[in-house]
Amino acid sequence: MEDRIIDFLRGNPGNIVLTSHFNPDGDAIGSTLGFAHYLQGQGFNVNVIFPNEPSIPLRNSLGYSSSFVHIDQHERNKTKTIISQANTLFALDYNVSSRVGKEMSALIDNFSGTRILIDHHESPDHSFDYMYSLTSKSSTSEMIFDIIEKDGGAVDIACADNLLMGLITDTGSFKFPITSSRTHEVAGKLLNFGAQPSIIHERLYDNNSKSRILIWGLALSNILITEDNSVAILSLSNSDLNEVNCQPGDTEGLVNQGLGIKGVKMSVLIREDSVGSLKMSFRSKGDVNVNDYSRQYWQGGGHKNAAGGVSELTILEAIDKVKSTSKEIIIDD
Ligand SMILES: [Mn+2]
């Protein structure tokens, strides 16, 4: 399939719309903008639609300010028109249309043209017309590079910058187990196309807002660790978030801090977005499978070592539930 995606587009000329998931992360932005800039360079008419606005560091990727980038929450009428005038729609870095949020998922479900999914999450929705799904891949950005490389056209600096950002963010700067020799090879090739890892890194990680540092401080000062020292639990109440005027993206990456504690195999972040609505994030090491765990207990899923979920419990109830259920998935050394 991946060999034929761009040939398919050449055989079916028309407008292309590329979409990614709600709260777009580095790989969502990276894969979508990387592909969009490549396709534009190949003469295609492209538009990109994200459901809501990404965090500021992600908005600073090269080419983010292109006129073809749209935010559904800000430009509803425009995005509806774009989707109605497209004949091919890409779903990048998400496995089911509900991941784009309620408002936008209807537009994707009812899209009358060809729907193509490119993604590395588990359990992709088989209702798409074409699917390129590989859970062994570090990132959707790596998959997009595979497609582009086979096509053989010019990779401009905006494409290279965005794809490398996707690789860096989804692999935790090349340290997660999903990182393969191919991931490093792709990164090397992106450097040859002009991407600058030091600049991407500085933009992403040395560019914190005050509210981000304050919310991390609050969460870390209240960290709980289970008696057997295997699970770290971070929690932020609605009033914590309001106290520091927490902005979208401020808690991104926070859950990984729990894994930095010696002996901890799973880290959990519980965030109370509004009272009665918890967002759960899970990270794990090695064979501790948080995808299965979140599916079973938290109405969510994701990858083996990184997953999300939701809950209607209170924070204290959710902490108790993590304590009682996580024992099942922790594997003793
Ligand atoms: Mn991804």
Check residue 330 and give its pLDDT: 84
Q: DSSP for 133-196, please give it.
A: E-TTSS-HHHHHHHHHHHHT----HHHHHHHHHHHHHHTTTTTSTT--HHHHHHHHHHHHTT--
Q: How far is the CA of 301 from the centre of ligand 1 (A)?
A: 13
Q: How far is the CA of 40 from the centre of ligand 1 (A)?
A: 22
Are the CB atoms for 299 and 282 separated by under 8 Å?
no
Tokens of 306: 């990184």
Residue range 141-156, pLDDT digits in tens: 999 999 999 999 999 9
Q: Which domains does the chain have, with CATH numbers?
A: 5-205 (3.90.1640.10), 210-328 (3.10.310.30)
Q: How far is CA 201 from CA 161, 192, 308, in A?
A: 11, 17, 24
**DSSP helix/strand/coil, 110:** coil
Q: How far is the CA of 167 from the centre of ligand 1 (A)?
A: 9
pLDDT, the chain, mean: 95
Which backbone phi and psi does 200 adopt, to 5 degrees?
Answer: -60, -45
Residue range 302-318, pLDDT digits in tens: 989 999 999 999 999 99
What residues does 270 pair with on adjacent strands?
A: 235, 280
**DSSP helix/strand/coil, 15:** strand
d(CA 185, CA 64): 25
- The dihedral through the CA atoms of 253, 254, 255, 257 has a sign that is positive
Q: How far is the CA of 243 from the centre of ligand 1 (A)?
A: 31
Residue range 77-117, pLDDT digits in tens: 999 999 999 999 999 999 999 999 988 999 999 999 999 99
Which residue type, as a one-letter code, is found at position 157? I
Residue range 253-277, pLDDT digits in tens: 899 999 999 999 999 999 999 888 9
Residue range 173-221, pLDDT digits in tens: 999 889 999 999 999 999 999 999 999 999 998 888 899 999 999 999 9
Q: How far is the CA of 163 from the centre of ligand 1 (A)?
A: 11
Check residue 51 and give its pLDDT: 97
**DSSP helix/strand/coil, 114:** strand
Q: DSSP for 48-93, please give it.
A: EEESSPPPHHHHTSTTTTSTTEEETTT-HHHHHHHHHTEEEEEEES
Q: What confidence tier does 328 reach under pLDDT thresholds 50, 70, 90?
A: confident
Residue range 125-140, pLDDT digits in tens: 999 999 999 999 999 9
Residues 319-331, mean pLDDT to the nearest whole number: 91
Q: Which helix (H) or strand (E) holds 220?
A: helix 210-221
Is pLDDT at 331 greater than 80 in this prediction? no
Q: How far is the CA of 93 from the centre of ligand 1 (A)?
A: 5
Inter-helix orientation angle 290-297/315-325, to 10°: 130
Check residue 333 and give its pLDDT: 63
